[in-house]
């Protein structure tokens, strides 16, 4: 049995049949090799402000942690960083967590790093990791040189890793973030980004009351209209009051065929009075088929896009996007979700044709059906949903911890 399997087995033993009110996570971190404590190991809840260093005997205790399924992240120099699923209100006894030595370091595995990777690809990383919004402009990556870059053999995919946790200052929201980047991949052929890691938030401090107030206002602005706010309002069946309108979107691949620039015309006796033009034009058969459905409405798309997009004219209600099993809400929908947030206008540089009063629009694709949503509105598996539009460009600039509570929800 591997060390990771042992860890999971130990944790499963800690889940009781009955729930308790406590919301603490405590335990001990030891080496899987000699069972000795790993003094001052780092322990934190991913995407939260809850974390600490273990003491000299490897012991830790996180208090008042968020409800629901959480990612507990444990790391120690020279050992593999692990993330394990825990639910604080069902733990009966302290956890015993065993870390195994870093196998890659032990085996001396090397990956070919690009010598000029930083110069060539850091702007791409910055755009897709920090984001492009106004708040993103206030994000500063303090240790960018920790990044290293590699290409696949056919150079179709870029992979970015880091030798140490990334240190980010979000000066608009008042957080410093330590981000354990597990992997960042960019596909050149599909213009598609995936990345995941384990962020830990710490609140910045200041004696300047105006700055404190500004952080408070910006956090509220970042929260309302966010994916977490949207999903929480869905669970509470409160879309309308929260400012959302949601529609089913159909995205189909364009299929072109050639037709004469102008058609052949015959009189009532069947005589040709106009021959079809020899010149041809392209016609999209998918567009023609969808346009005949009176319930669908075409929406603009980039001319170079290989797809055509239509919305169903009737808006959805909350029951259309999730189902409840054993009192747990599971996100589950077909096609695409097209989400309008009408209480905040899009930044002009992102709005269609630079409109000043355009509502924020996001598109959701479900990559893993029936994914769990916690009562806080966060996804247990954030990689289960692909975000486009507004939510696709926000990134770290609008990123809040899951234990953040707005005052005016």
Tell which wins on pLDDT, 349 or 222. Answer: 222
Q: What pLDDT is stored for residue 10 in this prediction?
A: 43
What digits encode the pLDDT tens for the residues 111-170? 788 999 999 999 999 999 999 899 999 999 999 999 999 999 899 999 999 999 999 999
Q: What pLDDT is stored for residue 169 in this prediction?
A: 97
Q: What pLDDT is stored for residue 296 in this prediction?
A: 94
Determine the length of the chain: 409
Is it the case that residue 2 has pLDDT exceeding 60? no
In this structure, what token pair is assigned to residue 127?
């755009």
3-state secondary structure of 50: coil
Is it the case that residue 408 has pLDDT exceeding 80? no
Q: How confident is the model at residue 5 (pLDDT cuts 50, 70, 90)?
A: very low
Other beta carbons within 10 Å of 232: 20
Angle at 354 between CA 353 and CA 355, to 5 degrees: 95
Q: What pLDDT is stored for residue 83 in this prediction?
A: 93
Residue 88 CA, chain-centre distance (Å), reads: 23
Residues 6+ apart with CB under 8 A from 332: 321, 322, 323, 366, 369, 370, 371
Is it the case that residue 349 has pLDDT exceeding 90? no
CA distance 239 to 229: 10
Q: What pLDDT is stored for residue 9 in this prediction?
A: 38
Percent of the chain exceeding pLDDT 70 equals 90
Residues paired with 310 in a beta bridge: 250, 298
What digits encode the pLDDT tens for the residues 230-240? 999 999 999 98
Does this model's pTM top 0.85? My answer is: no
Percent of the chain exceeding pLDDT 90 equals 59
Is it the case that residue 106 has pLDDT exceeding 60? no
What digits encode the pLDDT tens for the residues 269-315? 788 888 777 787 777 788 888 888 999 999 887 777 888 999 999 99
- Which H or E element spans position 9? helix 3-13
What digits encode the pLDDT tens for the residues 58-105? 999 999 998 888 999 999 988 999 999 999 888 889 999 999 997 655
Is it the case that residue 177 has pLDDT exceeding 80? yes
Q: How confident is the model at residue 18 (pLDDT cuts 50, 70, 90)?
A: very low
User: Average model confidence (pLDDT) for the chain?
Assistant: 87
Q: Are 223 and 400 in contact (CB under 8 A)?
A: yes
CA distance 356 to 42: 46
3-state secondary structure of 347: coil
Is it the case that residue 345 has pLDDT exceeding 80? yes
């Amino acid at each position: 049995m591997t060390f990771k399997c042992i860890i999971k087995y130990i944790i499963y033993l800690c889940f009781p049949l009955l729930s308790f009110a406590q919301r603490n996570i405590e335990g001990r971190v030891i080496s899987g090799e000699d069972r000795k404590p790993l003094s001052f190991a780092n322990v934190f809840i991913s995407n939260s402000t809850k974390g600490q260093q273990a003491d000299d005997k490897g012991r830790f205790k996180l208090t008042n942690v968020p409800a629901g399924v959480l990612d507990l992240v444990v790391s120690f120099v020279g050992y593999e960083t692990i993330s394990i699923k825990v639910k604080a209100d069902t733990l009966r006894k302290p956890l015993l967590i065993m870390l195994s030595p870093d196998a890659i370091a032990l085996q001396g595995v090397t990956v070919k790093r690009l010598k000029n990777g930083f110069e060539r690809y850091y702007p791409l990383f910055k755009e897709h990791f920090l984001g492009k919004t106004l708040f993103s402009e206030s994000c500063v990556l303090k240790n960018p040189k920790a990044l290293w870059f590699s290409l696949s053999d056919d150079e179709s995919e870029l992979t970015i890793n880091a030798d140490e946790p990334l240190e980010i200052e979000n000066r608009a929201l008042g957080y410093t973030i330590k981000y354990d980047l597990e992997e960042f991949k960019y596909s050149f052929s599909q213009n598609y980004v995936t990345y995941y890691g384990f962020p830990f938030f710490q609140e910045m401090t200041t004696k300047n009351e105006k700055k404190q107030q500004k952080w408070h206002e910006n956090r509220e602005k970042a929260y309302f209209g966010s994916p977490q706010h949207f999903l929480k309002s869905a669970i509470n069946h409160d879309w309308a009051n929260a400012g959302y309108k949601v529609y089913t979107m159909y995205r189909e691949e364009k299929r072109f065929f050639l037709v004469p620039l102008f058609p052949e015309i015959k009189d009532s006796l069947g005589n040709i009075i106009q021959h079809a033009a020899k010149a041809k034009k392209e016609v999209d058969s998918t567009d023609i088929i969808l346009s005949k459905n009176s319930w669908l409405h075409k929406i603009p798309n980039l001319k170079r896009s290989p797809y055509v997009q239509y919305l169903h004219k009737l808006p959805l209600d909350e029951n259309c996007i999730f189902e409840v099993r054993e009192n747990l809400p599971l996100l589950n929908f077909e096609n695409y979700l097209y989400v309008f947030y009408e209480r905040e206008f899009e930044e002009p540089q992102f709005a269609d044709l630079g409109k000043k009063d355009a509502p924020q629009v996001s598109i959701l694709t479900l990559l893993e059906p029936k994914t769990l949503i916690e009562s806080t509105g966060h996804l247990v598996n954030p990689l289960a949903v692909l975000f486009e539009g507004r939510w696709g460009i926000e990134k770290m600039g609008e990123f809040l911890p899951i234990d953040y509570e707005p005052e005016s929800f």
